[in-house]
Amino acid sequence: MTKSEIKNYHRVIGYVNLSLSVMHLIFSRNSDISGRLFEAILINLGYHMLYYYFALIYKLTTKVRLLNKFNKVALLIMLKLFAIFGILGSASFGILTIFDAIDSSKLHELFGICIPFGMFLGANSLLRDIQEESQSFMA
């Protein structure tokens, strides 16, 4: 996936996330309207914050990477491990969310299913940035 494809997926899944949040607000009857509104806001914040948390780490570490060659190599390795952890964590988070909602018969928890996708796309964006720098570093 390229960076532009990741951004397009983020936008499309963001719209799906917004529509699921609105559906949760309208159709869920597990709490009063203020509780459902709070849950809808949390679902949207969780999706976007996890995406930007992983996607912006690369830009925020630029000054440290420019100090010397050791910092650049060591930080790229740590960021790559962090991105891989994010991808694996998003997969396990998504699977656990689905199985927990089905097992406990709380299907309204599935309205937050887009949150792991935000984590996956952010980690994939971080991994893409690292691979681009590694290719320019090796060349």
- Which domain range does residue 90 map to? 3-138
Predicted pLDDT of residue 135: 80
Query: How much is the pTM?
Result: 0.88
Asked if 40 contacts 22 with a C-beta cutoff of 8 angstroms, the reply is yes
22-56 pLDDT tens trace: 988 888 877 788 888 998 999 999 999 999 999 89
Residue 139 has pLDDT above 60, yes or no: no
Contact 20, 46 (CB under 8 A): no
- Mean of pLDDT values over 8-29: 91
The number of domains in the chain is: 1
In this structure, are residues 6 and 118 in contact, taking their beta carbons and an 8 Å threshold? no
Please state, as a whole number, how many other Cβ atoms lie within 10 Å of the Cβ of residue 1. 12
Q: Specify the long-range contacts of residues 127-136, CB closer than 8 Å, at least 24 apart.
A: 127/80, 127/83, 127/84, 127/87, 128/1, 128/2, 128/3, 128/6, 129/3, 129/58, 130/58, 130/76, 130/79, 130/80, 130/83, 133/76, 134/76
Q: What percentage of the chain reaches a pLDDT higher than 90? A: 53
Band the pLDDT of 109: cuts 50, 70, 90: confident
CB 124 within 8 A of CB 6: yes
